[in-house]
Structure 1
Amino acid sequence: MGKIGIIGMGHVGSDVAYTLCREKLTNHLVLIDPLKEKVLAEKLELEDSMVGWDYSIKIETQNYASLQDAEIVVISVGSQNVDNENRNSELIDNVQAVRESIPQVIASGFKGIFVVISNPCDVITKLVQEVSGFPYERVIGTGTLLDTYRLKRVVGQYLEVSPQDVSGYVLGEHGENQFVPWSIVSVREKAMLQEIQLSSDVLYELKEETRLGGWRIHAGKGWTSYGIASACSRLIQAIQKNENRVYPTSSYDEVEGLYIGWPTVIGHEGVISRLPLNLLKEEKEAYQASAKEIRSVYDRI
């Protein structure tokens, strides 16, 4: 448990801050956002909430210099220009925010690990790595981790089993070109497609329910934040405790030359390795199509 910086204190950054405090994953937060009054308000509310807890956490605001000895910096900058069902709509604003904020983080002497949430996640994660000059393994995007949570929820509800008993991943882009490699999905330790007869129509519906999960939440309340805050906190815990645990993150694919969602082993040094998977031909093609889309978006910046 150490110092963590959060750059971008909208709904997502604020819920990440609260989650880290509530789960005792930090003893010192540095909160940064262009909206100074918003950051101060979040600081005060976090401090109010801690009065009823059995511990306290130091909270600073707007102090890039304090990031010098931070363990982790979370990038959660977010644009208000979000079109329905298109994470790429945030691209221009978030690219600008990254180009403005990352040099200030580096100037502080920060040597830790970046965890990137901002959309389009795979593209912004690559940009953070390039602007910072950090090793690939020390820049991690949340990628398809939250999508994988949604997959487990959707499949668990359909089959009436606990989502914790569903194993598998959503891979590729954190966006419209994500895909589910059904060949490696299991339920209660058994290969799902070998144990349960599911039509291609049902599999398609489950995939779409997973893909559209975030947009349905966004349409109803105007944003999503609880799920990604939970996912981000799990990555931070894995880094802090050197868990060497597998999570589907946006990590660097040397062959494709970009960041993309894939199962990775996460520990104290960031990405320890990418997990080998034996995908079917059509699943490999879906991965390559997803990489092509990420590359095309990155080329726009």
Structure 2
Amino acid sequence: MGRTVGIIGAGHVGADTAFSLVTQGLCDEIVLIDNNEAKARSQGLELRDMASLVPSRVNILVNDYAALRRARIVVMAIGPTTLLREDRMEELLETSATVKQVVPLIMASGFNGVIISITNPCDVIAAVIQRESGLPASRVFGTGTSLDTARMKRVVGEFFGVDPKSVSGYVMGEHGESQFVAWSTVRIGGRLVSEWDGDKQPDLPAMKDQVRAGGWDILLGKGWTSFGIGTATARLVDAVLSGADTVFPVSAWDEREGVYIGQPAIVGVGGIGRALPVALTQDEQRAYAASARVIGRAFAAL
């Protein structure tokens, strides 16, 4: 099996994920699928136009479900018809119905790889995909709080004037309203941000609000968000294809809570190697449990 990646959904997010994969040379073939065939073909043509400009040659196929048989990864990037919604849970009825139609088509191709879900509400949709596909929970996961964690690193880095890559730590829980910054994990150069004793005293609640509002601010300005999530997904795809066993905050199955939820997990060739328990404070443990209940209630209502 080569480095073939299927992307279901050729909208802003699916297309920018494909763009990231092509420009970084992370796969050999992309199967781009959308119910709007004209859009899918246009996106595929533009990606092929880049062939002489990028380091690696990537074959682009359009609306070929049969080709998913050789895919090692399928990215679920189906979006709602209406984007301007404050709560991602409002998208659930529409996106879950589409996912239920698409997953049988994926599995009928003979696909036997890993499914990564971007589709919102990310955590609930990951559970829907796993149930409909019958794949092991380890081989289905969502992008979870990967983007939220990147936003947190940006906010913290900008406040302290350091490169966001020098910030470590996690946003956990739902990729949505009940998420929380696990400040007990957030460090700069090994030093806890919450215990910073320099001239700049961080306002942690205000910084948390900036993290949560980041996506909404982008959405109001340009109508959608795609660069960050497309790049985050490309990193996850690379981790699976290369067997990197890299730790990411993704939406992975939590056996105790009985939900997919944003948490640090090792991502490698088989999908989720294992989730990594985090030593959270009592307040953070309560926030995690509360977020799990939000996800669980949404899934149970389907």
Name the % identity. Answer: 42
What is the 5 A alignment of 1:19-168? Answer: 19-168=20-169
Q: What SS does the corresponding residue of 1:259 show, helix, strand or coil?
A: strand
Report the equivalent of 2:293: 292
Q: Is the 8 A contact 2:84 2:223 kept in 1?
A: no
Tell me, in whole angstroms, the C-alpha distance in 2 between the residues paired with 1:54 and 1:122: 35
Tell me, in whole angstroms, the C-alpha distance in 2 between the residues paired with 1:258 and 1:128: 13
Shift of 1:185: 0.9
Q: Return 283-292 or 196-205, whichever deviates more.
A: 196-205
Tell me, in whole angstroms, the C-alpha distance in 2 between the residues paired with 1:144 and 1:196: 28
- List structure 1 runs of 4+ shifted beyond 4 angstroms: 197-201
Report the equivalent of 2:266: 265
Per-residue displacement from partner, 1:166-223 (whole Å, max 9, x unpaired)?
Answer: 1100000000100011112111121222333799981111001001101100000000
Provide the aligned length of Structure 1 versus Structure 2: 301
Per-residue displacement from partner, 1:208-242 (whole Å, max 9, x unpaired)?
Answer: 10011011000000000000001001111111111
Report the equivalent of 2:278: 277
Report the equivalent of 1:191: 192
Provide the aligned C-alpha RMSD in A.
1.6
Tell me, in whole angstroms, the C-alpha distance in 2 between the residues paired with 1:156 and 1:54: 31
Tell me, in whole angstroms, the C-alpha distance in 1 between the residues paired with 2:215 and 2:91: 15
Shift of 1:56: 2.2
Report the equivalent of 2:8: 7
Question: Runs of 5+ in structure 2 lacking a partner?
Answer: none
Tell me, in whole angstroms, the C-alpha distance in 2 between the residues paired with 1:262 and 1:296: 19
What is the 5 A alignment of 1:174-253? Answer: 174-196=175-197, 202-253=203-254
Q: Could you state the TM-score of these two structures normalised by the residue count of structure 2? A: 0.96
Question: Runs of 5+ in structure 1 lacking a partner?
Answer: none
Q: Is the 8 A contact 1:80 1:90 kept in 2?
A: no
Q: Is the 8 A contact 2:9 2:79 kept in 1?
A: yes
Q: Could you state the TM-score of these two structures normalised by the residue count of structure 1? A: 0.97
Q: What SS does the corresponding residue of 1:168 show, helix, strand or coil?
A: strand
Tell me, in whole angstroms, the C-alpha distance in 2 between the residues paired with 1:36 and 1:185: 44
Q: Is the 8 A contact 2:23 2:55 kept in 1?
A: no
Q: Return 48-57 or 153-162, whichever deviates more.
A: 48-57
- Residue 22 and residue 134 in structure 1: after superposition, are their counterparts in 2 closer, same or farther (change >3 A)? same
Tell me, in whole angstroms, the C-alpha distance in 2 between the residues paired with 1:153 and 1:99: 35
Q: What SS does the corresponding residue of 1:26 show, helix, strand or coil?
A: coil
Per-residue displacement from partner, 1:254-298 (whole Å, max 9, x unpaired)?
Answer: 011110000001111110111121111110000011001111211
Tell me, in whole angstroms, the C-alpha distance in 1 between the residues paired with 2:56 and 2:240: 22
